[in-house]
Amino acid sequence: SAVISQKPSRDICQRGTSLTIQCQVDSQVTMMFWYRQQPGQSLTLIATANQGSEATYESGFVIDKFPISRPNLTFSTLTVSNMSPEDSSIYLCSVVEGPNYGYTFGSGTRLTVV
């Protein structure tokens, strides 16, 4: 299965600033996703990162707040913009491979906004 390197693993940020999270995959994958896990909560999909086109956002998430880049089939970034304490969460990237639907997750980025 694919190996995902996600950076940073954690960060503490000031409110009003932005943080960019990187996700690097060791193989080319078509589908890449970004999830948010708020404290004590389940995972919620933020958006699907599409290579060569704009990301597809889920209801409640907007591009101005969570801009996503997908320059090629092995890399994506998620930016959390103009952060507030409510953005404190774990952010995870995920990829799916092949016809057997192997979903792999990055180790996550634990973000604390103060």
Three-point CA angle 24, 54, 87, nearest 5°:
65
Please, where are the H alpha helices in 4-105? none
Give the range of 17-25, 37-45, 61-69, 78-86 binding other proteins by CB under 8 A. Answer: 37-45
Sign of CA dihedral 84, 41, 106, 55: negative
Which residues, numbered 2-21, are part of the site for other proteins (CB under 8 A)? 6
How many angstroms separate the CA atoms of 100 and 98, rounded?
A: 6
Site for other proteins in 69-108 (CB under 8 A): 92, 94, 96, 100-108
Q: Does 56 bind other proteins (CB under 8 A)?
A: yes
Q: Which residues bind other proteins (CB under 8 A)?
A: 1, 6, 31, 33, 41-45, 48, 56, 58, 92, 94, 96, 100-108, 110
